[in-house]
Amino acid sequence: MDGSSTPLKPPPGAAADWTIDQGWRNYCDQDHQVWTTLYERQAGMLQNRACEPFLRGLDALDLHGDGIPDFARINAELERLTGWQVVAVPGLVPDDVFFEHLAHRRFPAGRFIRTPDQLDYLQEPDVFHDVFGHVPMLTDPVFADYMAAYGRGGMRALSKGHLAHLARLYWHTVEFGLMKTDAGLRIYGAGIVSSRAESVFCLDDPSPHRLDFDLMRVMRTPYRIDDFQPTYFVIPSLEELLAASLQDFEPLYARLEGLEDIPIGEVTGDDGVIHRGAQTYHEARNAI
Ligand code: HBI
Ligand code: FE
């Protein structure tokens, strides 16, 4: 996620903005089978776990289990709904390239897919994480605006040296966010919906904290890239998430310079606590 290991120049065959052709015809049967297996594992269990906008998006884009979707097909509908596009990239792209795409309503998606022995874990975002995980939410007009605002904010954060703070916002919302709904807590984060184990853990396990989303709080909170999150942040609505992102971040960054990070897994007196986790999962792991 920090992009530090990403090469600075696009690889041969990629355009200056790092995009490549999806090459949909080049996927083999095994590739399509992996998509279908993952789709079937997730789509059913998410029915009462993912938020409505995600489930609606999954239907609207018809990302069913028929194999890896052709981006051209998705894009026709996505463009109509929110003006977004999915573009294929070789893998992680540099931060500035990533933000530039988002600001222009293009979501960079890996085109490769994991192998059957990597169904549960992989390091780089593949087409299943990127398309199944991220793209359904982009059919929601409010979330679509949030992602574009994030891209614009990313470009400003880069120029002001505050990318580390803004990246935490992405992580705790776009990747691992939960939402309050009348039916209870629901998932909207792409890193969760694309993971079978975390889709259960984040909502049902007594271990993690579930705290009210607060923009400053989130930007002070580091995250785990290699394991379940010890803390999930819960937004009251997509509208409030968007509103938070539309303010001027410059005074916030100035204040952050005088504030310490809040250690991962800690709860403070200022937090709105929905569920104070027992933290048994991470304590057991650290003890090993
Ligand atoms: N590139 N393809 C891709 N996907 C990402 O999620 C991504 C990236 N490059 C940079 C990046 N994310 C992060 O550094 C930012 O979200 C902060
Ligand atoms: Fe992601």
Q: Per-residue pLDDT tens for 246-285?
A: 999 999 999 999 999 999 999 999 999 999 999 999 999 8
Query: Using a 6 Å cutoff on CB, does residue 233 contact ligand 1?
Result: no
- Nearest C-alpha neighbor of 273 from the set 202, 212, 214: 212
Residue 288 confidence (pLDDT): 54
Q: Which fold has domain 24-287?
A: Phenylalanine Hydroxylase (1.10.800)
Residue with tokens 């607060």, as numbered in its chain: 214
Query: Using a 6 Å cutoff on CB, does residue 167 contact ligand 1?
Result: yes
Query: Using a 6 Å cutoff on CB, does residue 277 contact ligand 1?
Result: no
Q: Could you read off the pLDDT of 78-100 as tens digits, one per residue?
A: 999 999 999 999 999 999 999 99
- Calculate how far, in angstroms, residue 199's C-alpha sits from the geometric centre of ligand 2: 15
Query: Using a 6 Å cutoff on CB, does residue 147 contact ligand 1?
Result: no
CA–CA separation, 62 and 69 (whole Å): 9
- Calculate how far, in angstroms, residue 97's C-alpha sits from the geometric centre of ligand 1: 9
CA–CA separation, 51 and 171 (whole Å): 18
The domain segmentation of the chain, as residue ranges, is: 24-287
Atom of ligand 1 lying closest to residue 170 CA: 16
- Calculate how far, in angstroms, residue 129's C-alpha sits from the geometric centre of ligand 2: 6
Instruction: Read off the pLDDT of each residue in 69-80 and give the average, rounded to a whole number.
Output: 97
The burial of 56, by beta-carbon neighbours within 10 Å (0-12 exposed, 13-18 middle, 19 or more buried), is given as middle
pTM of the model: 0.95
